[in-house]
Chain A
Amino acid sequence: MIQAMQETAPSALQQQFDEKIDQDITIEPRDWMPDDYRKTLIRQISQHAHSEIVGMLPEGNWITRAPTLRRKAVLLAKVQDEAGHGLYLYSAAETLGITRDQMYEQLHSGKAKYSSIFNYPTLTWADMGAIGWLVDGAAIMNQVPLCRTSYGPYARAMVRVCKEESFHQRQGFEIMMQLAKGTPIQKKMAQDALNRWWWPSLMMFGPTDDNSPNTAKSMRWRIKRFTNDELRQKMVDVTVEQTRILGLSIPDPDLKWNEERGHYDFGAINWDEFFNVVKGNGPCNKERLDTRRKAWKEGQWVRDAAMAHANKRAEKSRQQALVSA
């Protein structure tokens, strides 16, 4: 039997890194890390940040048309929070060595992805309810385990995000409750929004485990704590009960409680739709990117003006210091 080639012994730094991961010790910005770990995190964190910023757009669409002042103020606060979440995540990504401008360039050029859910349109006010309840709900399910992810700045950003995210889901559920228990037209609007957002929300958890090549690596490095399918199943189980309370129905004829598994069985996801939207062919992909590019371009004068103003102020105080010396 031919002996396998001896693998080169891992370097001391690699070993220390592996031990830290195995012992659940957090990795911080100046710690040595494998290039691949750094690259994977840059990609995941920056795309997470892009998702928050692009995610402001579908809801921003309804700020001027909220039915009451309270709803308007609450929706504004939610969208503001999403901007803040983007910031926390861009900051975390920057600790890995990539710059903000580079990340924006990746987003605007189409090189970087963001969560595909935001490529769907918000057609009615009830969509605000469905998004807060289902989309933020799915995000919470994904983000709570990330609070213990192996990379420190990412984990700490997630703790802050999770604290703020729970109001998002409650505001969405509150909207759905009000509509579902309202007039027949309101109830119909709520059911319609649920029908349109249900399957895309389940797709938020990503491809099935056997179709997700990055999962094994991410789990090994404790970047990811639960698999896509595990989180997706949890989402279904939790949301079925909530839907019952609303008095609405989930648009899945195959949804059924499985006593043996102790979970709900659910229908097949349309993966063609998912990969198509991820590729750029969703209803709003072009619109979302156009909006971001436009905002960046038209905001250039603000960035320039702020630098000019700051330089002017610095110059003025320099002059004053010279005069009073």
Chain B
Amino acid sequence: MLENIIKSHRYGDYGDKESTGGANATVGQISASEWPLWEVFIRSKAGLDHKHAGSLHAADAQMAMENARDVYTRRNEGISIWVVESKHIHASLPTEQGEFFEPANDKVYRHPTFYDIPDEVGHM
């Protein structure tokens, strides 16, 4: 029953597959008029990076940008916006999280606290 509702999973289902249009076109029952889905990233202040703020539907990049400004920066939350079609985002698999990030686990010597520097050296 749930399969009838769930048409897509975001972030990384697409790999190299060409989508016919819109992030949700993995099963071909989406109406032709549904605008593609975009992810919005906002830089709040000069010097900071863009942070993911949410998503919206828009017909193209210019519309996505203007809509992102209208809905995500009503209170001066941003000086810069990136929009990316959701289908272009790829994500690591949560089920492989342990294995995927394992290489860093036994390399504690990458942290400064691993090293014993005598106090007389001062700040290092």
Chain A residues at the B interface, C-beta cutoff of 8 Å: 13, 28-32, 35, 38-39, 42, 77, 80-81, 83-84, 87-88, 91, 94-102, 156-157, 160, 164, 300, 303-304, 306-307, 309-310, 313-314
Contacts and interface: CB of A to CB of B under 8 A. Distances in A.
Interface of B: 2, 5-12, 24, 30-35, 37, 54-60, 62-63, 71-72, 74-75, 91, 93-95
B39 to A, nearest CB: 9
Contacts of A307: 32-33, 35, 59
Given A28-B94, A32-B94, A314-B60, A97 B8 contact: yes
A42 B5 contact: yes
30 contacts: A28-B94, A29-B9, A30-B12, A30-B91, A30-B94, A32-B94, A39-B2, A80-B74, A83-B71, A84-B72, A84-B74, A87-B54, A87-B71, A91-B56, A97-B7, A97-B9, A99-B8, A99-B34, A100-B34, A100-B57, A102-B7, A160-B54, A303-B33, A306-B59, A307-B59, A309-B59, A310-B59, A310-B60, A313-B60, A313-B62
Contacts of B75: 164
Contacts of B2: 35, 38-39
Nearest to B21: A307
A192 B34 CA distance: 44
Contacts of B7: 97-99, 102
A156 B72 CA distance: 13
Given A30-B12, A310-B60, A313-B60, A97 B5 contact: yes
A222 B48 CA distance: 33
Contacts of B10: 29-30, 94-95
B60 A99 contact: no
Nearest to A27: B94
Contacts of B35: 303, 306-307
Nearest to B86: A94
Given A91-B56, A157-B54, A300-B33, 10 more contacts: A28-B94, A29-B11, A30-B94, A83-B71, A87-B56, A87-B71, A94-B37, A99-B8, A99-B24, A306-B59
